[in-house]
Amino acid sequence: MHDLAVIGAGPYGLSIAAHAAAAGIDVRIFGRVMDSWRNHMPEGMYLKSEPWSSNLSHPGGEHTLGAWARAHGGFEAAHGRPVPVGTFADYGDWFAGRAVPAVDGRSVVRLTPADGGFLLRTGDGGEVRARTVALAVGVLPFREMPDVLAPLPPELCTHSTGHRDLGRFAGTDVTVVGAGQAALETAALLAEAGARPQLVARTRLIRWNTLPAPLRRPLLTSLRTPHSGLGTGWSTWVWAELPWAVRRMPAATRRRRADTALGPAGAWWLRERYEGQVPELLGHVLRGARVRSDGRVRLELRGPDGTARALDTGHVVAATGFTPDLTRLELLDEGLGRTLRLSPGTSAPELGADFETSHPGLFAAGLLSAPTFGPAMRFVHGASWTAPRLVAGVRRRLRGRTGGVRVPHPAPAPGAGAASPAGGR
387: domain CATH number is: 3.50.50.60
Q: Which of 18-27, 75-84, 157-166, 415-424 has the lowest mean pLDDT?
A: 415-424
Of 36-45, 108-117, 206-215, 298-307, the one with minimum mean pLDDT is: 206-215
For residues 137 and 155, state if they share a domain: no
Question: Among residues of the chain, what percentage have pLDDT more than 90?
Answer: 75
**202 and 291 fall within a common domain:** yes
For residue 333, tell me if it sits in a domain.
yes
pLDDT of residue 19: 98
Q: Provide the pLDDT for residue 421.
A: 31
Shared domain check, 364 and 398 = yes
pLDDT, average across residues 309-334: 95
Let me know whether 55 and 125 are in one domain: yes
Evaluate whether residue 129 is within a structural domain.
yes
Same domain, 81 and 64: yes
> What does the pLDDT look like over 261-291, one tens digit per residue?
777 899 999 999 999 999 999 999 999 999 9
Q: Is residue 221 part of a domain?
A: no
Is position 97 within any domain?
yes
Instruction: Report pLDDT for 210.
Output: 86
Span 356-367, average pLDDT: 97
Could you tell me what percent of the chain has a pLDDT over 70? 94
User: Residues 106-113: what's their mean pLDDT?
Assistant: 97
Q: Is 21 among the domain residues?
A: yes
- Give yes or no for a contact between 280 and 191, defined as CB atoms under 8 angstroms apart: no
List the one residue out of 143, 120, 137, 117 whose CA is nearest residue 7: 137
Q: What is the pTM of this model?
A: 0.90
Rounded Cα distance between 252 and 241, Å, is 20
243, 359 in Cβ contact below 8 A? Answer: no
Q: Which of 293, 318, 343 is the last residue of a domain?
A: 318
User: Does residue 279 fall inside a structural domain?
Assistant: yes
Q: Which of 252, 286, 318 is the last residue of a domain?
A: 318
- Residue 232 lies inside a defined structural domain of this protein: no
Mean pLDDT of the chain: 90
Q: Mean of the pLDDT values across residues 137-145?
A: 95
pLDDT at 174 over 60: yes
Q: Which of 241-250, 303-312, 397-406 has the lowest mean pLDDT?
A: 397-406
The secondary structure of 319-344 as a DSSP string is: ---B--BGGG-TTB-HHHHHHS-B-T
Q: For position 213, what pLDDT does the model report?
A: 82
Task: Note whether 125 and 187 are same-domain residues.
Answer: no
Whether residue 368 has pLDDT greater than 50: yes
On the question of pLDDT at 408 being above 60, the answer is no
Is residue 12 domain-shared with residue 104, that is, in the same domain? yes
- For residue 47, pLDDT beyond 90: yes
Q: Are residues 36 and 49 in the same domain?
A: yes
d(CA 165, CA 169): 9
Same domain for 64 and 11, yes or no, is yes
Indicate whether 278 and 160 sit together in one domain.
Answer: yes
* In a shared domain, residues 135 and 160: no
Which DSSP string do the residues of 363-402 spell out, in sequence order?
A: EE-GGGGHHHH-GGGGSTTHHHHHHHHHHHHHHHHHHHHH
Asked if the model's pLDDT at residue 216 lies above 70, the reply is: yes
The whole-number pLDDT of residue 403 equals 40
Query: Given a cut of 70, is residue 112 above it in pLDDT?
Result: yes
Q: Is residue 67 part of a domain?
A: yes
Which of helix, strand or coil describes residue 266? strand
pLDDT at 197 over 50: yes
Q: What angle do CA 336, 338, 339 make, to 5 degrees?
A: 70
**pLDDT value of residue 401:** 62
Report whether pLDDT(402) > 60.
no
pLDDT digits (tens, 9 = 90+) for 235-246: 888 888 888 988
Give residue 117's domain range.
2-142+322-402
Q: State whether 13 and 161 are in the same domain.
A: no
Gap between the Cα atoms of 330 and 83, Å rounded: 32
The secondary structure of residue 419, as a DSSP letter, is: P
Residue 229 confidence (pLDDT) above 90: no
63 or 234: which carries more pLDDT confidence?
63
| Residue 253 pLDDT grade (very low, low, confident, very high; cuts 50, 70, 90) | confident
Total tally of structural domains belonging to the chain: 2
